[in-house]
A and B are shown apart, each in its own frame.
Chain A
Amino acid sequence: MLDWIAGLAAWELLALEPPGWGGVLLRGLAISLQVAVGGYLLGFLIGVGGATGKLYGGPILRDILDVYTTLVRAVPELVLILLLYYAGTDALNQVMALIGAEPMDISGLAAGIFVIGVVQGAYQTEVLRGAFKAVPHGEIEAARAYGMSSFKALRRITLPGMLPHAVPGLANLWLIATKDTALLAVVGVAELTLVTRQAGGTTKSYFLFFLAAGLLYLMVTLLSNVAIRWIERYARRGMPAVR
């Protein structure tokens, strides 16, 4: 028992320089955050495309997008991560081979971003679709009456107009993205959860490292919440308060 408490209180294991593992944990956190940011942005791009497709696209496009969002929302993220990480990168390399290019060495980071991006894309499509619908149609009609092309109207009227409505959903998806990066531990990407388990395994101080990792994730969440509140206030400036 004393050994276990000693393991828990071995703060020097968290030191930033070796032989402390703090530096490794922080590097893992950096990878997690990079994957989260990259995946979120990719998901946002896919989401904007998907939402416009669902709202303004033809019936075939709408059905294909429906299949995409239903598939991603019906299958566990863990299974999707495995599928996209192994089968997806394999398919990508086969396509590259078909067009005669060298097989791309897709780093764990890039594959992770791709995976999180595709998963986020489906959820973002739904959130953005709801937000797009909240933009008063009169404004879009006015934009068209002014002769703006669809893309210009999207860029100048629709996107800025739907952001305040989208912020709660987008905020939630950001928090989901940061937590989904932990699942990449199962495919061996050196993000925070995996390096925590490795550090715990090497030093036998599991509790200490998992608590430290938990604190790091909590800090990311809490800081994100502060930033989100600020963004929401900025996005909703001039609009009536919700609560």
Chain B
Amino acid sequence: MSPETRSWREPHRLVLLAIAIGIVVFAAVNMRWDWLPRYGEKLVGGVGTTLWLLFLTSALGFLLAVPLGLAQAAGPFWLSGPARMFCTVIRGTPLLLQLWLLYYGLGSLFAYWPEIRQSWAWPYLRSAWPYGVLALTMSFAGYEGEVMRGAFTGVPKGELEAARAYGMSPFTAFRRVWLPRAIHRALPTLAGETVLQLKATPLVATITVVDVYGVISRVRQDTYLTYEPLLLLALIYMLLTGILVVAFRWLEGRVPVKGS
């Protein structure tokens, strides 16, 4: 048995576990949790918002990342150049800045076009969540685009040549060989990137989207408590991360791996 996978029943682990439980019990008894019932429903709603933001932006971001990666791997300079620039800019600037640029910058633009308020798009343009979705999607696409670029260039050239030798058109070769192999190579990092995306979602609370972080901010402001709301928030995110990691591990177990 490798030293790192010792059984959890080892004596020192039991002691540490007991200490951890002791801390939790101490916190539960001595700290103020009377605000929990009042905000319970809002917290559940906040977690829901966090989750749909996570899945929507990850999915859209991945869809955007595939062409970005492909453009950099195989495109002509007028496609790969802009794609490279997009990924560089996204990865070179903080997400918070990108988010505020979209929300405040574009928002200030709308003030100069009163006609826009009569259009059908106005209810969406005036809400905050589309900007959050846009910023998170672009961010995910920027980082994943790099991953996909590596994945596309990493597919063994021999397989692509074999596909062409079989008479497949470039598009068929892409559809049947290059894309699936690239996605397969990128899949393991996808789990890590999704966890990172979960950790990026709280930023949308700064533009009035009420996710679980936004709810806890509300609790902090109403109760003026320092520790309790933040500790609960950390616990919630740890649980979400744990569930995500376990879910991805299960998913990876389900995907059949032939050879490499």
Chain A residues proximal to chain B, CB less than 8 Å: 1-4, 7, 59-60, 62-64, 71, 74-80, 82-83, 86-87, 90, 175, 179-183, 185-186, 193, 196-197, 200, 204, 206-207, 210-211, 213-214, 217-218, 221-222
Residues of B within 8 Å of A182, CB to CB, are 94-97
Docked complex Cα distance between A78 and B92 (Å):
19
Main secondary structure of the interface of B (DSSP, over half): helix
Min C-beta distance of A93 to chain B, whole Å: 12
* Contact between chains at A86 and B101 (CB < 8 Å): no
Min C-beta distance of B229 to chain A, whole Å: 9
Within B90-110, the residues touching A (CB, 8 Å) are 91-98, 100-101, 104-105, 107-109
Interface size on B, residues (CB 8 A): 45
Chain B residues proximal to chain A, CB less than 8 Å: 4, 6, 10, 12-13, 16, 88-89, 91-98, 100-101, 104-105, 107-109, 111-113, 195, 198-203, 206, 213, 226-227, 230-231, 233-234, 237-238, 241-242
Residues of B within 8 Å of A1, CB to CB, are 112-113
Residues of B within 8 Å of A60, CB to CB, are 12, 16
Known: A75-B238, A182-B96, A193-B100. A214 touches B233 (CB 8 A): no
Min C-beta distance of B245 to chain A, whole Å: 9
Residue of A nearest to B20 (CB): A67
* Contact between chains at A75 and B97 (CB < 8 Å): no
Main secondary structure of the interface of A (DSSP, over half): helix
Min C-beta distance of B20 to chain A, whole Å: 8
Known: A59-B10, A74-B242. A83 touches B89 (CB 8 A): no
Residues of B within 8 Å of A75, CB to CB, are 199, 234, 237-238, 241
Known: A82-B230, A210-B97, A210-B105. A218 touches B202 (CB 8 A): no
Docked complex Cα distance between A200 and B106 (Å):
13
Residue of B nearest to A60 (CB): B12
* Contact between chains at A78 and B203 (CB < 8 Å): yes
* Contact between chains at B112 and A4 (CB < 8 Å): yes
* Contact between chains at B230 and A87 (CB < 8 Å): yes
Tell me which of A63, A83, A207 contacts B234 (CB under 8 A). Answer: A83
Closest 3 CB pairs of A and B: A182-B94, A221-B92, A76-B199
* Contact between chains at B96 and A74 (CB < 8 Å): no
